[in-house]
Amino acid sequence: MGYVLGILCTFLSPARAEYVPDVLCELPWGDGTDEVGLIEAEGQEPQGPGALAVGPDYRVYVLDTVNRRIVKLGLDGNFLGFISLPFPALSLCMDEEGRVYVLDPDRSRMAVYGPKGSYSEYTYQVPEPLLEGTLPVTRVLAYRRQVWLSTYRDVYPVQLYPKAAKVAWRLEGIPGSSGRIYRVRPGEDDRTAYIEVSEGGGPVLELSVRSEGPLGTVTFLKEDERGFIYVASEGLRATEMGIEVLRLVLRYSPRGELLDEVEVPVGYTYCYGGDVDVDREGNIYHLWTRREGVQVVRWRLR
């Protein structure tokens, strides 16, 4: 573990020293009780876990898409069991009351698990503009008993009814738990982007995202309970080995000041619903898929 952590610290080396990483746990590939499923096929990208989420009690939930279940981990990474799923979900999230939401966008199905064991399953139909658009739904979001289907730039509000969910028209921007809306817009060059923050229909803040190379996807992640803002960005940078993808989690103050950058390594598999989450105190969690297995990495905010 110490050797792996040493490699991790050297690889990541955040630009600011506010975060300290540690490997919370390691999960081998497989279909056993405390394992995570992997599908490898010649000529295709390997398929592994779909997403990671952290609950209000700091427990970690790993969406094991291949084995159709959610693996539950304790505060110290100890295995707590799993939740069997009725379909191979690709995205999950947790709300502030501990409800778990899982989404299968391919089959238009959603399931909600309550903290005391309740379960509801829904089907939904999306509006026509969603079918015609170029941005696919990749995430499910839930705050204060409100639910959204999300691309990395927009959301579709969802109203849950018995057995079915009604999806409303697209709204530009991603909502935070405070009710603020975060909208990404291109900057003056290919290395810059801005996130406009609005509240009550009016602008209140603007966040700046800059990259040392061409900037790719930029998306709002989360707000913590103190109002700090977390953004994920992808860009390109030149190294001795050639051009590589640089993935960062950026932390901003409630006033929009950039405070920290945490470099997140590119995984062996692609996590459709997101491999990064933030708990309510601002600690960052990453699901790092590797050839040898999966590591859940936690950056503690000092």
The number of beta carbons lying within 10 Å of the beta carbon of residue 178 is 15
Distance CA 95, CA 124 (A): 20
What is the H or E stretch that residue 167 is in?
strand 164-167
113 pLDDT above the threshold of 90? yes
What is the gyration radius of the CA atoms in the chain, in angstroms? 19
Over residues 216-250, the pLDDT tens digits come to 999 999 999 999 999 999 988 877 777 888 999 99
Distance CA 26, CA 233 (A): 25
Which CATH code of 3.90.550.10, 2.70.98.20, 3.30.930.10, 2.120.10.30 fits the domain covering 23-301?
2.120.10.30
Q: Are 205 and 140 in contact (CB under 8 A)?
A: no
The pLDDT assigned to 106 comes to: 83
Q: What is the DSSP letter of 39?
A: B
6 pLDDT above the threshold of 90? no
Domain definitions of the chain by residue range: 23-301
Whole-model pTM: value is: 0.90
Q: Mapping DSSP to helix (H, G, I), strand (E, B) and coil, where does residue 73 land?
A: strand
Over residues 276-299, the pLDDT tens digits come to 999 999 999 999 999 999 999 999
Residue 235: closest CA among 274, 277, 192: 192
Over residues 127-145, the pLDDT tens digits come to 766 655 557 888 999 998 8
